Amino acid sequence: MGNVYDLGIIGGGPAGYSAAIRAAQKGLSVILFEKDAMGGVCLNKGCIPTKTILHCSDLYKNLKKSEKFGIYAGAVSYDYEKIFNRKNDIVQKLQKSLTKLVQSFGVEICFSKAKLCSQNEIKTRDNVYKCRNVILCTGSKPSKIKGLEPDGEFVLTSDDVLNLTKLPENILIAGSGAIGVEWARIFSSLDKNVVVTELADRLLPCADIDISKRLERLFKKNKIKFFTSCSIEKIEGHSVTLSNGQTQECDIILCAVGREPVLPEMEGISPEFDGRFVKTDTNFETNIKGLFAIGDINGRMQLAHSAVHQAISVVDYICDGKEVHFDKSNIPSVIYGNPEIAWVGKTEEMLNGTEYKVSIFPVAALGKAIADDEIDGLVKVLSAEDKIVGAHIVCPEASSLIHQFALMIDNGLKTKDVLNTVFAHPSYSEAVFESILGLDDLALSIPVQKQLN
């Protein structure tokens, strides 16, 4: 048997490496087990590689309209193989950097499959490690649905699509969540034909209704075809029959219908489950004392930044007994592309039956947006009892703007207190200020008739 550790962590994604660093900062002895490469789905098959490609596609799209700004770039084209290689180079660089970062805190990393074989024991092929506390954070994988099983050639997952070195001309995307929307934007920006199907009655069904409506408008503007309340009924060769009776010819189908947990190997021990997910209490502890489950495997919220927050909170609970505060409605969600989409807090649907105010400020009213030619967006804010309870943004820099609202919500700030802050001009942050003014019909940049209607 090897050494005894204060904390053993299975999984080296955002949840795992954040927990390892936090625990080391707290003075715990930590061993982290990773069967593949550090960084988990986010770094290797999700956030980073996708956003790298997305940035390239946005750059290409913007260059094509550069003459509008008086800039002549000549004939603009792209080499997707170089984009692919750049994506791989960035992932590999960050893998190495992350490994060194975690090790710099004195964390021992064991690159091996690990099996939980008792409450306090983790086994690899060569050794057994005793751990006073164990955190499980083994992440997730693309979900599969019957009749649309990925084959790596025609029906692809979000993992598979990252391995393409050449893009097909015609793509059908099943699902309009974050993955489906971002890849629709990538393919469309790179001049490919895109069709999106969504089982719900609107695109991006997890978002506020006004965000869904704006996304539909953006899809139409970018010639992305979409069908809501629609599923794939039959596949014959490359011909796909939809439930609405339409037939689409496509080169690939991207199945973007969500993610399911990757459960750790276990022997002689089994925590309770809630459906497919490991069941935890409010402190992310399983029914087995000293055994915690964080990140995608507990099903609370499958986002990297949510996993990091859980990791820090759990380690603080282990070390200091500090109860975990986790409200998933206050975790920001972001969809990247041009313009970005972000939201935090409540939607109007969630506030049904509650007295609340709503303000929608059009980004087109900002001087900064007009100068940038980025006028197709909005900031929608919801308040109850003079406090911000929800915010929904379609706008350049939405991924940054949304945190202003998150801070307001988490700290219970009164709207009058927020309005004491001076927002720089010209900036997209002015939309935050104006949207809050609009709660009392006091926005400065919208004609009064539009505010009162």
In the three-class reduction of DSSP (H, G, I as helix; E, B as strand; rest coil), residue 306 is classed as helix
Can you tell me the distance from the alpha carbon of 127 to that of 8, in angstroms, rounded to the nearest whole number?
Answer: 14
Can you tell me the distance from the alpha carbon of 178 to that of 342, in angstroms, rounded to the nearest whole number?
Answer: 10
Q: Which of 97, 94, 95, 131 is nearest to 115 (CA)?
A: 131
Can you tell me the distance from the alpha carbon of 451 to that of 440, in angstroms, rounded to the nearest whole number?
Answer: 9
Can you tell me the distance from the alpha carbon of 92 to that of 370, in angstroms, rounded to the nearest whole number?
Answer: 39
Q: Which of 351, 348, 349, 261 is nearest to 298 (CA)?
A: 261
425 is catalytic: yes
For residues 33 and 17, is the Cβ–Cβ distance under 8 A? no
Q: Please identify which of the residues 238, 325, 392, 425 carries the catalytic annotation.
A: 425
Four-point Cα dihedral 269, 274, 276, 280, nearest 10: -60
Which residues, other chains included, contact 234 with Cβ-Cβ below 8 Å and sequence gap of 6+? 240, 241
For residues 197 and 231, is the Cβ–Cβ distance under 8 A? yes
Rounded to 5 degrees, what are φ and ψ at 379? -125, 120
In this structure, which amino acid lies at residue 90?
Answer: I
State both tokens at 235.
């596949």
Which residues are known to be catalytic?
A: 425
